[in-house]
Every structure is written in C-alpha cells, then in structure tokens.
Amino acid sequence: MKNNWLSLIAVAAAAVLAWPASAELVVIVNPKNPATSLSADQVAQLFLGKSSSFPGGAPAVPLNLSEGAALRDEFHSKVADKNPGQVKAYWAKQVFSGKSSPPRELPSAAEVRKAVASDPSAIGYIDKGTLDSTVKSVLTVQ
C-alpha cells in the first residue's frame, strides 16, 4: 500500500512536471450507447474478457491498442492494476486454457476512436486531448 501511495505521488509529480495534457486518458463508447458512465472495475472486466456486456445488457466489444503502446500500458496499469507482463501472463492463461481470447487490437488511438465512432457496441480508450464529439467519454482515468 505504502509503495502504491508513493508511486501514485511519483506519477502525479511526473504528470505535473512532464506530461501536460497526455496524463489523462478517457474510456470512450459510441454516442448512441445509452451508458453514461462506467466504473474502472466495469471497464477492466470488459477488457479482461470477464464480461461481454454493458451494464444495461447490450453487447460490448472492447478494442485495445497494440502491444507496446504507451497508452495501452497506462490503461492496463490504472484500470486493471496490471503491468504489461501481468497482462501477458493473464492472457496466456486465458488463451492456453481455451477460455477466451484477448480483445481485438488496433494500431493507433485514432483508429480506436474511428472504430468506436462507427460501432454502437464498441468500447475503447484514447488520450483525453484527442476526445471529440464523434465518441462519448464514460470514464476519465487520471
């Protein structure tokens, strides 16, 4: 716990000092999606394949960024409390036990935004600075 707080403070300090606009990411859905806000836990469940529906019951299709993307690592760390290695191990367990497969991956946040803008069941995440009216934010992650 103490370490967590320390690292939180460190991250916050780094954010203030070095990452002006890019420290925040937003989880986005299609504007037609009735969901207005989701908890980090709900988002994590969707991206870890533990749930496949939005709270109202509508199907959810998570769209991830490709491995190695800084935003992806930040998303997993803040929303699912997992570092890239843990994410890899988690999916190894799911895939090699025949249970589920990881979300579809897109090469850039711009493509994620485009895909979410055109699919009512899609959910993705982008840098807050690139949020526009083609998509709807349901969670801001700091």
Partner 1 sequence: MKKNLVAAAVASVLMPAIAQADIGGLSDLSFSGFGTAGVVATNTDKAEFATSVLQPNGAKKKADFTVDSLLAGQVNYRMTESLSFVGQAVANKNADDQFKPHVEWAFAKYAITRDLGVRGGIMPAPILMISDSRLVGFANPWVRPPTAVYSQVALTNFRGVDLLVRHAAGDVNLTAQPYFGKAPTQIPNAGSDHLTAQIDNMAGLNLGAELGGWTARVGYMQAKFTYHTDSLDQLFGGLRGVDVFVPGAAQLADSLDATGKRITFMSAGAAYEGGNLLFQAEYAKRKADFFLGDTTAWYTTFGYRHGDLMPYVTLSEVKMDSPSSDSTIPPVGPLAALSGGVNALLAGQNTAQKVVALGMRYQFAKNADVKVQWDRVRIPQGSTGGFQHPTPDFNGGNVNVYSATVDFVF
Binding site for partner 1 (CB under 8 A): 1, 3-4, 41-42, 45, 50-53, 59, 61, 67, 81, 83-85, 88-90, 92-93, 95-99, 101, 104, 115, 118-122
CB of 59 to partner 1, least distance (A): 6
- Rounded Cα–Cα distance for residues 84 and 96 (Å): 18
Cβ closer to partner 1: 70 or 92?
A: 92
- Rounded Cα–Cα distance for residues 13 and 19 (Å): 10
Cβ closer to partner 1: 31 or 41?
A: 41
- Rg of the Cα trace of the chain? 15
CB of 136 to partner 1, least distance (A): 16
- Rounded Cα–Cα distance for residues 103 and 98 (Å): 15
Cβ closer to partner 1: 4 or 36?
A: 4
The pair of structure tokens assigned to 7 is 């690292």
Cβ closer to partner 1: 15 or 90?
A: 90
Q: Judge contact between 92 and 49, C-beta under 8 A.
A: no
